C-alpha cells in the first residue's frame, strides 16, 4: 500500500513549479519509493543515537585571516542578470 | 594497433623521463583516441584541446629544465563534470548549470594542476551524480566501451568509460553511494572511494554532503595510488577534511596478504547477486586464501536496511544542497512575475526527472510531521550500519564482496524503474554511510564478455591496507584484456 503524500505542498516547499500531470506522476513514484524506504522503520532502534556525519569531528577552527576572494566581475559574469555589481532578480517588495 | 594512450601512468611517467616521448605527444594521443571513440561513447561533456596542449607544453618545458613535479607530471587526466574547473564549463550534467564557467578550481583540480597533470576535459555523469548508469545526463547517456549497447554504470560513467577506452590515463569521480566503484566495476577499471574527509570536497558540486567523496579511477592499482596521493590531505577550505597525514599507499602495494584476515560479507553474496558475479568473487577470495590470507564469513545484519536509509538521507541532504540552484547566481533563468515564481519555474525547467524526484523525496522526508519517522529513523539505521562494521573489524582486517550485483546492463533496461536502479548500489552504499574507504578492482569477464568488479572495504583511514589487498587481487586476477573499442582504428557505429 503506497504512502499518501500531499505532493502539491511538497513541490511548493521545494519551489518547483510542476503541472498537475507531473504532480500526479511524481506523487505516485514517491509513494512507491517511500514504501521501500519505510523499511527502516522495521528495525528496532530504541536507545540508538542518530548519526548525522561519519567523522567524530566537533569544531574545525582556523585563524581568522584575510585571504584572496573571488573576482566580482568574473562571478557576476556567470549570473543570468546583474547590474551595478549586484545580482538582479524580479521585484520582491511592494508586491500586490 | 597500440598507442601511447594505452600506457599505464607509471609507464608513461617513465617514458617521459627517458625522453621516449613528450607530454604533448601523450596529450595528442589521448585527443586522437577521443576523436575515434567519442562518437560511440560520449564520455566527455567538454574537451579542452587548447588548454590541455598548453599544459602539456608547460610540463615538457619544466621537465627539460629539471623541474619534476612527480608521477602525474605531464599525464593527461579527466575530471568528472561536477568538479569546478576555472573558466572551463562545469554543468553537473544539468540544464540548470548549462554554460556555467566557474570562477575557481576545486581543490582536487588545483592539486592535480600543482602535480603537473594535464586536464583533458570534463566527463559525463548522471545529473548531479544522481544515478547508477549515466543515462540521467541532460546531455545524453555515456556508453560502455566493452559493449556499447550496455551502460558504463554511474554516476561517474564518463570517467570510467574514458579510462577504459584510453581517452584519459586516469580520471576523478565522486562517490556518494557507489558512483566511483560501480562504474569502475562495469568498465573493468580500478575505482577508489577514500575515507570520508580524505580528499577535500571544496569545489565539488554537493549532492549529499555527509556521504560525498572524491576519488580516482585508473587502469591499474598502482596508477590509482598515484592519483589518490596527488589529491589527498587536509584543506583549509573544507572543514570536514582530515588533518592527519594520508598513508603512503604506494608502499603497501608489494606487501602481499599473508596472515591478513579477510571477511566475505554474507549479506552481499546471496539473493539479488548474479550467481556468476558471486562465483567470481568467491573464487578470488579462495585465491587470496591460497596466497596466505585467513578467510572467514562475516555478517553485517543492518546492511540490508542500508539502501532504504540511504534513499532517505541522500535525498534529504540533496534537497537542501540543491536549493542554491534558483536562477539567481548562475545558469539559465526562466522569467516569472515574482522572484519566487522565477525560481520555481527555473527549477522545474532546469532539473531532470530523477533530480526532481529526489528533491521532492528529501523535502518530504525533512518536513514537519515526517522527520522522525523517516530521516530520524534513517540516521539511527546509519548508526547500526557503523556498529556492524566496527564489530566486524574486531575480527577481520578487511571485508570483501561484489562491487555491483550485476555486470553492465542494457541501455534503457532500468530507466523507468527507480527502485531497480537503486539496487545497483546495494553493496557499495554501506561504506558511504560508515564513511570508510572502499574500492573496486576488476577480476575478469563474465560469459557475455563484461567485466566483474571485486569490492574491498577497510576501516576508516586504512587506505594502505585496502591497497595492499587490491594489489594482490590485481596480481592474482592478471586482468590485462582491454575493450575492443580501445583503439585508434576507425570503427563503424
Q: Is 50 exceeded by the pLDDT of residue B1?
A: no
B102-128 average pLDDT score: 98
Structure-block grid coordinates of residue B6: 594505452
Please name the residue that has the C-alpha cell 621516449.
Answer: B20
Q: In what order do the strands lie in the sheet with B398-402?
A: B44-47, B118-123, B76-80, B170-175, B213-218, B190-193, B438-445, B451-457, B398-402, B261-265, B294-298
The region, left, alpha or beta by phi > 0 then psi within -120 to 50, assigned to residue B153 is: left
d(CA B228, CA B472): 18
Task: Supply angle C-alpha B129, B92, A73, rounded to 5.
Answer: 145
- Which parts of B139-263 fold into alpha helices (H)? 157-165, 181-187, 221-231
Mark out the alpha helices in B145-252 (DSSP H runs): 157-165, 181-187, 221-231
- As for how many domains chain B has, the answer is 1
Q: Which residues pair with B291 in a beta bridge?
A: none
Angle formed by the axes of helices B353-366 and A20-37, nearest 10°: 60
- Of B321, B373, B308, B310, nearest to A14 by C-alpha is B321
Contact A43 B330 (CB under 8 A): no
Q: Cβ contact (<8 Å) for B104 and A70?
A: yes
Contacts of A18 in chain B (CB under 8 A): 348, 356
Q: What is the pLDDT of residues B8-57, one digit of tens each?
A: 999 999 999 999 999 999 999 999 999 999 999 999 999 999 999 999 99
Grid coordinates in use for A66? 584575510
Is B414 labeled as catalytic in the residue annotation? no
**Is position B50 within any domain?**
yes
Contacts of B488 (CB under 8 A, 6+ apart): B1, B3, B5, B32, B33, B36
pLDDT at A2: 56
Tell me whether residue B155 is one of the annotated catalytic residues.
yes
Report whether B100 contacts B89 (CB < 8 A): yes
In chain A, what's the furthest Cα-to-Cα distance?
57
Q: Are B191 and B440 in contact (CB under 8 A)?
A: yes
Other residues' Cβ atoms within 10 Å of the Cβ of residue A58: 6
User: B88 forms bridges with which residues in the sheet?
Assistant: B85
Chain centre distance of CA A67: 29
Pull the grid cell for residue B171: 580520471
Residues of A in contact with B105 (CB under 8 A): none
pLDDT of residue B408: 98
- Rounded to whole angstroms, the Cα distance separating B449 from B338 reads 56
Interface pTM, i.e. ipTM: 0.93
Residue B38 is assigned to a structural domain of this protein: yes
d(CA B282, CA B286) in angstroms, rounded, equals 6
Contact list in B for residue A17 (CB cut-off 8 A) is 341, 344-345, 347-348
Q: With an 8 Å Cβ cutoff, is A45 touching chain B?
A: yes
Question: Mean pLDDT of all residues in chain B?
Answer: 96
Contact B360 A52 (CB under 8 A): no
What percent of chain B shows pLDDT beyond 70? 99
The CATH number that applies at residue B237 is: 3.90.1300.10
Mean pLDDT, residues B289-314 taken together? 96
Pairwise CA distance, residues B400 & B286, whole Å:
12
Q: What is the CATH number of the domain that holds A15?
A: 1.10.20.60
Tell me the whole-structure pTM to 2 decimals: 0.97
Cβ neighbours for B142, distance < 8 A, ≥ 6 positions apart: B41, B42, B43, B123, B124, B134, B151, B152, B157, B158, B161
Question: Is B197 an interface residue toward A (CB < 8 Å)?
Answer: yes
Would an 8 Å CB–CB cutoff place A49 in contact with chain B?
Answer: yes
DSSP bridge pairs for B261: B294
A17: in domain: yes
Interface contact B196-A34, CB threshold 8 A: no
State the total domains in chain A: 1
Residue A67 within any structural domain of the chain: no
Interface probe, candidates B364, B369, B385, chain A, greatest A C-beta count within 10 A: B364
Catalytically annotated residue among B133, B155, B174, B431:
B155
Domain of residue B393 covers 7-493
The answer to whether position B1 is within a domain reads: no
Supply φ then ψ for residue B408, to 5 degrees: -55, 135
Which of B179, B319, B401, B404 is catalytic? The answer is B179
Q: Which domain holds residue A28?
A: 1-44
Are the Cβ atoms of B312 and A40 closer than 8 angstroms?
yes
Q: In A, which residues are within 8 Å of B380 by CB distance?
A: 43, 45, 48-51
Percentage of residues in chain B with pLDDT exceeding 90?
93
What's the rounded Cα separation, in Å, for the pair B143 and B164? 11
| Structure-model confidence comparison of residues A1 and B274, the more confident one | B274
Q: For residue B28, tell me if it sits in a domain.
A: yes
| Chain A residues touching residue B347 (CB < 8 angstroms) | 14-17
Q: Point out the residue among B319, B356, B379 whose CB comes nearest to the CB of A51.
A: B379
A10–B379 C-beta distance less than 8 A:
no
- Residue A95 pLDDT exceeds 60: no
CA A92: distance to chain centroid? Answer: 21
Question: Is A1 near chain B, with CB under 8 Å?
Answer: no
Distance from CA of B173 to the nearest CA of A (A): 20
Does the pLDDT at position B390 exceed 90? yes
Determine, yes or no, domain membership for A8: yes
Residue B459 lies in a domain: yes
Please give the average per-residue pLDDT across B67-96, as a whole number: 98
Q: What is the C-alpha to C-alpha distance for residues B281 and B55, in angstroms, rounded to an integer?
A: 41
User: For residue range B136-179, what is the model confidence (pLDDT) as tens digits?
Assistant: 999 999 999 999 999 999 999 999 999 999 999 999 999 999 99
Interval A6-16: pLDDT, tens: 999 999 999 99
Q: Does A80 fall in a domain?
A: no
- What is residue B492's predicted lDDT score, i.e. its pLDDT? 60
Please tell me the predicted confidence (pLDDT) of residue B89.
98
Distance CA(B272)–CA(B333), nearest Å, equals 43
Asked if B230 and B111 touch (Cβ cutoff 8 Å), the reply is yes
Q: How many CB atoms lie within 10 A of CB B112?
A: 25
- Flag if B329 and A87 touch (Cβ within 8 Å): yes
Summarize the confidence of residues A50-65 as an average pLDDT. 83
Q: Is B460 left (phi over 0), alpha (psi -120 to 50) or beta?
A: beta
- How close does chain B come to A53, measured CA to CA in Å? 5
Residue B493: the pLDDT is 52
SS3 at position B28: helix
Distance in angstroms (rounded) separating the CA atoms of residues B93 and B87? 17
Q: What angle, 0 to 180 degrees and rounded to 10, lies between the N-to-C axes of helices B221-231 and B107-114?
A: 110
Lowest mean pLDDT among A52-61, B158-167, B390-399, B470-479: A52-61
The residue of B377, B417, B460 whose CB has the most chain A CBs within 10 angstroms, and thus the best one to mutate to test that interface, is B377
Confidence band (pLDDT; 50, 70, 90) for A62?
confident
| Within a domain: B66 | yes
Report the sign of the C-alpha dihedral through residues B92, B455, B361, B380, in that order: negative
pLDDT at B269: 97
User: Given this model, what pLDDT does residue B416 score?
Assistant: 87
Exposure string for B39-51, b = 16+ CB within 10 A, e = fewer: ebbbbbbbbbeeb
Give yes or no for A85 touching B (CB within 8 A). no
Nearest CA in chain B to A86: B329
Reply yes or no on whether B296 is catalytic. no
Amino acid at each position: 500500500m503506497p504512502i499518501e503524500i500531499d505532493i502539491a505542498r511538497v513541490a511548493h516547499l521545494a519551489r518547483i513549479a510542476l503541472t498537475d500531470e507531473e504532480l500526479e506522476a511524481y506523487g505516485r513514484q514517491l509513494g512507491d519509493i517511500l514504501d521501500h524506504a519505510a523499511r527502516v522503520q522495521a528495525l528496532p532502534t530504541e536507545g540508538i543515537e542518530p548519526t548525522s556525519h561519519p567523522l567524530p569531528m566537533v569544531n574545525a577552527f582556523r585563524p581568522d585571516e584575510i585571504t584572496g576572494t573571488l573576482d566580482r566581475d568574473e562571478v557576476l559574469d556567470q549570473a543570468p542578470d546583474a547590474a551595478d555589481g549586484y545580482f538582479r532578480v524580479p521585484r520582491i517588495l511592494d508586491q500586490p | 594497433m597500440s598507442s601511447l594512450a594505452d600506457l599505464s601512468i607509471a609507464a608513461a611517467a617513465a617514458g617521459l623521463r627517458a625522453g621516449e616521448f613528450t607530454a604533448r605527444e601523450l596529450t595528442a594521443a589521448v585527443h586522437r583516441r577521443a576523436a575515434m571513440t567519442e562518437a560511440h561513447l560520449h564520455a566527455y561533456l567538454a574537451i579542452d584541446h587548447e588548454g590541455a596542449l598548453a599544459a602539456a607544453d608547460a610540463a615538457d618545458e619544466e621537465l627539460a629544465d629539471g623541474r619534476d613535479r612527480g608521477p602525474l607530471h605531464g599525464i593527461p587526466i579527466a575530471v568528472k563534470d561536477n568538479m569546478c574547473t576555472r573558466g572551463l564549463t562545469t554543468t553537473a550534467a544539468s540544464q540548470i548549470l548549462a554554460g556555467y564557467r566557474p570562477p575557481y578550481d576545486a581543490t582536487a583540480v588545483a592539486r592535480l594542476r600543482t602535480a603537473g597533470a594535464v586536464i583533458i576535459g570534463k566527463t559525463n555523469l548522471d545529473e548531479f551524480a544522481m544515478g547508477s548508469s549515466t543515462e540521467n545526463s541532460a546531455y545524453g547517456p555515456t556508453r560502455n566501451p566493452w559493449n556499447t549497447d550496455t551502460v558504463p554504470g554511474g554516476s561517474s560513467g564518463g570517467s570510467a568509460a574514458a579510462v577504459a577506452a584510453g581517452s584519459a590515463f586516469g580520471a576523478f569521480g565522486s562517490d556518494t553511494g557507489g558512483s566511483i566503484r560501480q562504474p569502475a566495476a562495469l568498465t573493468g577499471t580500478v575505482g577508489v572511494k577514500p575515507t570520508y574527509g580524505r580528499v577535500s570536497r571544496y569545489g565539488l558540486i554537493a549532492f549529499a554532503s555527509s556521504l560525498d567523496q572524491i576519488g580516482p579511477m585508473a587502469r591499474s592499482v598502482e596508477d590509482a595510488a598515484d592519483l589518490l596521493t596527488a589529491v589527498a590531505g587536509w584543506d583549509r577550505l573544507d572543514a570536514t577534511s582530515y588533518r592527519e597525514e594520508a598513508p603512503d599507499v604506494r608502499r603497501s602495494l608489494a606487501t602481499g596478504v599473508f596472515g591478513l584476515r579477510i571477511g566475505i560479507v554474507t549479506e552481499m553474496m546471496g539473493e539479488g547477486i548474479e550467481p556468476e558475479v558471486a562465483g567470481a568473487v568467491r573464487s578470488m577470495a579462495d585465491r587470496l586464501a591460497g596466497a596466505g590470507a585467513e578467510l572467514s564469513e562475516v555478517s553485517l545484519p543492518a546492511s540490508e536496511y542500508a539502501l532504504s536509509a540511504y534513499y532517505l538521507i541522500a535525498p534529504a541532504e540533496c534537497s537542501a544542497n540543491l536549493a542554491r540552484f534558483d536562477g539567481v547566481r548562475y545558469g539559465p533563468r526562466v522569467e516569472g512575475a515574482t522572484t519566487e515564481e522565477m525560481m520555481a519555474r527555473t527549477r522545474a525547467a532546469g532539473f531532470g526527472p530523477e533530480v526532481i524526484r529526489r528533491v521532492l523525496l528529501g523535502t518530504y522526508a525533512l518536513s514537519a510531521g515526517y522527520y522522525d519517522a523517516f530521516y530520524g529513523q534513517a540516521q539511527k539505521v546509519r548508526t547500526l550500519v557503523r556498529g556492524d562494521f566496527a564489530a566486524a573489524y574486531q575480527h577481520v582486517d578487511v571485508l570483501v564482496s561484489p562491487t555491483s550485483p550485476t555486470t553492465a546492463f542494457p541501455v534503457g533496461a532500468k530507466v523507468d524503474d527507480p527502485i531497480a536502479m537503486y539496487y545497483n548500489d546495494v553493496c557499495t552504499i554501506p561504506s558511504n554511510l560508515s564513511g570508510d574507504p572502499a574500492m573496486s578492482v576488476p577480476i575478469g569477464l563474465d560469459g557475455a564478455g563484461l567485466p566483474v568488479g571485486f569490492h574491498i572495504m577497510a576501516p576508516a583511514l586504512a587506505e594502505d591496507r585496502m591497497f595492499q589487498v587490491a594489489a594482490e587481487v590485481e596480481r592474482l586476477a592478471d586482468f590485462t584484456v582491454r575493450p575492443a573499442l580501445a583503439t585508434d582504428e576507425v570503427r563503424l557505429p
